[in-house]
A and B are shown apart, each in its own frame.
Chain A
């Protein structure tokens, strides 16, 4: 089986974030980067799938030089191959442009049976790249996956559980499929020291727009239809009222205040 996994580098949310307010984009080099938390589950699921059903894993990321780190981490966890998708023309891509670039890379890898993605990235937070990727590639769209029940590699079939509002939906699908996973599907492992050392020395191969055969006018800021026009810090909620006094009085006051909101029936 051939497995691809899409990993994104995101800024650590604890870190202070700097924006290029002119361009409406992040100054990504100003922040400590981490692997998108949901993509750790995607990567782990790829590793488990390889263990259970054989095959090879190709990890890809679209991002600047420093995003090589997330691929190095994937190599340390023993993925077979990695590619960083990078080109000046990719900068400023919206979700569709991002999904188009990832789709081109998956076509170039060729014969991919399953593409694993995270449910969403914690910076872009859109949670749609996986679904868009499936639509572009014509792969089965399997989003919010909380469990892979079975894969029948010979007959190219997969059965998954999806965590949706109100319960779990079980879906059977043909491969190839894009599977985007939620937290809790597995417990991501950590790379061992040997793996980290080995990965540190490895070349990270790159693919640019020409390698991928993508039309530069259709990606990056040029090809994106959505544009950020304003960035603002939401007004602080403002600390409210700390209710002080004897606990019984405080509780009495709070229940009155909440009942006054006319929400409780």
Chain B
């Protein structure tokens, strides 16, 4: 239907995580407000599994474009296919996750269709039949609410974990609409060579628990102490820029304005002062715990729970207590 809400399902060579479906929840809420339905769409080599799961997470219809040329994600190929679909069906709103893949395809599709988009949205609602998109600006010091008056579909990227994951209903199913969009290798300028998996096993953006360290951690050794807590809790390790710039931990762990934006359920900041640029990357976490020697550290103003003390003493005790209480 013309005012449907579409959700892009991202995958890597057909591999999806449940998080790939997270936007079907908010998509459904918006579709209810528009009096329309939430639909999923995907592009890839073989989409059978994705279609099946998309219905289970709430999609009422799944649109897909398949072909060998779409085996690996390539913004060039995927955005051409996506623009074809969006132009043909003209949904009201299209939601992408604000991941590297989601951002790339959203940006290129918007440019191909010839209009702007709203990125990294953290709030979405329909008012008077109009979609209002809220996003953080200036390192989270401000939020701005944006409307898109001229463009249809309205393209939005949404911060991962900003909205609740939809429930899975194993018996749900629906209609699959397969479209074809032929594209030959010759028409494409980019070629996938290889993927080198990172040593880091947990994806910061998707982690529910992050234990993060700053300059106060004092060195590489200190991060081993934090890693132990992260492992105990099944979480990931983050860092401030000061720790990254000191060479104690690679850049892919950096949280903040010039690092990653994260929104875990629990963020434990150890030896981090809470500079505005660090807060920019983590202040929307559900629960923030600060462990810092300095009672006046600004991080305490943003923490749900604070402990004034030396992390070297506090963190190992936390590990011990959690292990005891969680029977690990």
Point out residues on A near B: beta carbons under 8 Å: 11, 13-14, 17, 19, 24, 37-38, 94-97, 99, 122-128, 131-136, 139-144, 159, 162-174, 177, 182-184, 224-234, 236-237, 239-244, 247-248, 250-252, 254-259, 261, 263-265
Lowest 10 CB-CB distances: which A-B pairs, in order? A94-B116, A131-B107, A128-B107, A135-B111, A240-B304, A132-B111, A230-B145, A170-B193, A225-B151, A225-B150
Interchain CB contact under 8 A, A38 and B147: no
Is B141 located at the chain interface by the 8 A CB criterion? yes
Q: State in angstroms the CA–CA spacing of A248 and B258 once bound together.
A: 36
A261 cross-chain contacts in B, Cβ below 8 A: 265-266, 286-287
From DSSP, what is the main secondary structure of chain A's interface residues? mixed
Interchain pairs with CB closer than 8 A, number = 262
Residue interface bits B83-105, CB-to-A below 8 A is 1, else 0:
00000000000000001110110
In terms of DSSP, what is the predominant structure of the interface of chain B? mixed
Residues of B within 8 A of A38 (CB): 258
CB <8 Å contact, B148 and A225: yes
Give the distance in Å from the alpha carbon of A95 to the alpha carbon of B173 in the complex.
38
Known contacts: A125-B137, A159-B193. The answer to whether A135 contacts B112 by CB under 8 A is yes
Measured CB to CB, the closest approach of chain B to A175, in angstroms, equals 9
* A-chain residues with CB within 8 Å of residue B151 when the two chains form the complex: 225-226
A24 touches B144 (CB 8 A): yes
| Interchain CB contact (< 8 A) of B257 among A122, A167, A241 | A122
Q: A166-B197, A240-B304 are in contact. List 10 more A-B contacts (CB 8 A).
A: A95-B117, A165-B101, A172-B190, A236-B301, A237-B283, A240-B303, A240-B306, A247-B313, A251-B317, A259-B325
Q: 1/0 contact trace for B147-172 toward A, CB 8 Å?
A: 11111000000000000000000000
Whether B116 pairs with A123 at a CB distance below 8 angstroms is: no
Q: Are B198 and A258 in contact (CB under 8 A)?
A: no
Nearest-neighbor residue (CB-CB) of B15 within chain A: A166
Residue of A nearest to B266 (CB): A263
Chain B positions within 8 Å of A126 at CB level: 119-120
Distance between B308 CB and nearest chain A CB, rounded to angstroms: 7
Chain A residues, CB < 8 A from B276:
13-14
